[in-house]
Amino acid sequence: MTTKKTAKTTLAGKRTKPIRVGVVGVGRGQSFASAATALVGMKLVAICDTWKEKLHEAGKRYGVATYTDYDKFLEHEMDAVVLANYFHEHAPLAIKALAAGKHVMSETAACKTLAEGVALCRAAEKSGKTYMFAENYPYSAASQELRRLYHAGEVGDVRYAEGEYNHPGEENWRLSISPGLKHWRNWIPCTYYCSHALAPLMYITDTLPTSVNALSITEKRTQSPNTTKVSDMGSVILARMDNGAVFRIWGLMLSSIHRVRYEVHGDRGYIATAEPNHWGTVRIHHEEWLRQSGEPNDLSYRPDWPEHAELANRAGHGGGDFWVNFHFANSIRSGEPPYLDVYRGVAMAAVGILGWRSCLEEGKAFPIPDFRNEAKRKIFADDQWSPFPEDAGPSQPPPSIRGLVAPAPKVIAHAQKLWQQQGYQGQ
Ligand SMILES: NC(=O)c1ccc[n+]([C@@H]2O[C@H](COP(=O)([O-])OP(=O)(O)OC[C@H]3O[C@@H](n4cnc5c(N)ncnc54)[C@H](O)[C@@H]3O)[C@@H](O)[C@H]2O)c1
């Protein structure tokens, strides 16, 4: 099976003025910093992090200006800001950057409350700048090929789809990436990190979620007695989509298997990622009586990249880390909104937030607002519902279906020792 090329985008020409980029957060943010190169018409000019030691180390590596203060960083001469700070603190920083006339690319999640989602949509509209949600999973070779197949009519209309992102991890590794009792990884409700499972399905099928039901999955703490995580390990989310289809999104950190996987069931066939490598292998299936001339009955293959194979092959997350910078730069240059625009980003955050509401009511359905419509979204402009510790209050929800379960003192002592060894100064 040969895959058709559908390349429409180009890399920046040599004479194009580079887009000057600043990156916030030098953990995950270093993927964006390293990929902000002349190859995509970008130039890294500044980085910002509140963790001084890590910032200076990264500053030396990249040879660019460093800032611990976000407001000072925003005053640096630059065109675009990439936000890779804490998961639940992106929207306020994105709104500030848009107001300062910068293009913004923001890591997942786009916002932590529905109120922030409304404010972010308004800020992006008012600014006239590019806002891109930095989901990298839609851009693996397999996901891009599934989108091509779907739009070529290979399986008809999607009726059901499954997205799975499950990333278990050994206890000390988990502690090391969650420094601090209030670090977001210790608190994040299990539905909030849904975009790795959901974004590729939305991208493949061009659908948006309109309602959500979810159930939370707990594990016995014997798997991981020293955990400082106060939230649950995984969830199953059912989303009704705007074409009537049902999507099932599940996983997170369940101890069973590390896996990323997508399936699309159309009304005349099935396309999916497949073994041995769900980043790069695709399967097509047609039942015999529905098969049209030239279509396979059952076929698995490794598709080509649609374009720029050499650059994509060098990037992390199945090539996805190259494509996010590439699409961000192309959107800035062309003035066309990126596929993962502010509305899709906020819709995915809303699946996480309202999915958590649903878990706390054992699967009750919650409608997802249409964030493109001011009359519909303004109803949520004051909805500050949040399970994160800094928002604690009488009407706020717990981060687990077990309520608020504090780690034992000896677990805290073990974690703090490890965090101190890695240079973390806080609690
Ligand atoms: N797409 C992916 O594949 C992927 C992978 C890993 C992480 N992420 C995302 O990247 C983001 C960052 O995660 P991480 O793994 O780097 O861990 P992290 O969240 O612990 O690190 C964030 C960094 O930002 C810094 N920071 C926090 N607040 C800041 C502020 N106000 N100003 C400046 N710096 C600030 C912290 O000091 C830290 O160095 C999260 O949103 C996460 O969801 C995405």
What class has domain 138-304+340-390? Answer: alpha beta
Residues 171-191 pLDDT 10s: 999 999 999 999 999 999 999
From the CA of 27, give the closest atom in ligand 1. Answer: 16
Residues 187-244 pLDDT 10s: 999 999 999 999 999 999 999 999 999 999 998 877 678 889 999 999 999 999 999 9
Q: Omega into 141 within 30° of 0, i.e. cis?
A: no
47 — pLDDT class (breaks 50, 70, 90): very high
Task: Tell me the H-state helices in 5-79.
Answer: 29-35, 52-62, 70-74
How far does residue 304's CA lie from ligand 1's centre (Å)?
Answer: 32
If phi > 0 it is left, if psi is from -120 to 50 it is alpha, else beta; for residue 128 that is left
Residues 269-319 pLDDT 10s: 999 999 999 999 999 999 999 999 999 999 999 999 999 998 888 888 888
For position 4, what pLDDT does the model report?
Answer: 44
From the CA of 179, give the closest atom in ligand 1. Answer: 20
Q: Which of 79, 78, 77, 86 is nearest to 24 (CA)?
A: 86
271 bridge partner residues? 264, 284
Residues 155-175 pLDDT 10s: 999 999 999 999 999 999 999
Q: Where do the domains of the chain lie?
A: 19-133, 138-304+340-390
Cβ(48) to ligand 1 under 6 A? yes
69 bridge partner residues? none
Residue of 86, 137, 425 best suited for mutating to test ligand 1, as the one with most atoms within 8 Å of CB: 86
Cβ(366) to ligand 1 under 6 A? no
Measured between alpha carbons, how far is residue 269 from residues 35, 49, 64 in Å?
Answer: 37, 48, 51
Cβ(107) to ligand 1 under 6 A? yes
Residue of 23, 49, 112, 348 best suited for mutating to test ligand 1, as the one with most atoms within 8 Å of CB: 49
214 bridge partner residues? 237
Q: Could you give the CA distance from residue 274 to residue 284 in angstroms, rounded to a whole number?
A: 9
Residue of 107, 193, 195 best suited for mutating to test ligand 1, as the one with most atoms within 8 Å of CB: 107
Residue of the nearest CA to atom 38 in ligand 1?
25
Q: Average model confidence (pLDDT) for the chain?
A: 94
CB 119 within 8 A of CB 377: no
Are 19-133 and 138-304+340-390 equal in CATH topology? no
Amino acid at 224: S
How far does residue 49's CA lie from ligand 1's centre (Å)?
Answer: 9
Q: Calculate mean pLDDT across residues 119-135.
A: 98
- Whether domain 19-133 has CATH 3.40.50.720: the reply is yes
Structure tokens at 198: 């959901």
Torsion of CA 36, 42, 46, 47, to 10 degrees: -20
From the CA of 107, give the closest atom in ligand 1. Answer: 41
Cβ(136) to ligand 1 under 6 A? yes
6 — pLDDT class (breaks 50, 70, 90): very low
CB 43 within 8 A of CB 99: no
Q: Could you give the CA distance from residue 4 to residue 149 in angstroms, rounded to a whole number?
A: 9
How far does residue 299's CA lie from ligand 1's centre (Å)?
Answer: 39
48 bridge partner residues? 24, 67
High-pLDDT (> 70) share of the chain, %: 96
Q: Could you give the CA distance from residue 146 to residue 306 in angstroms, rounded to a whole number?
A: 12
14 — pLDDT class (breaks 50, 70, 90): low
Element (H, E) at 269: strand 269-273
Cβ(49) to ligand 1 under 6 A? yes
Q: Could you give the CA distance from residue 295 to residue 288 in angstroms, rounded to a whole number?
A: 10
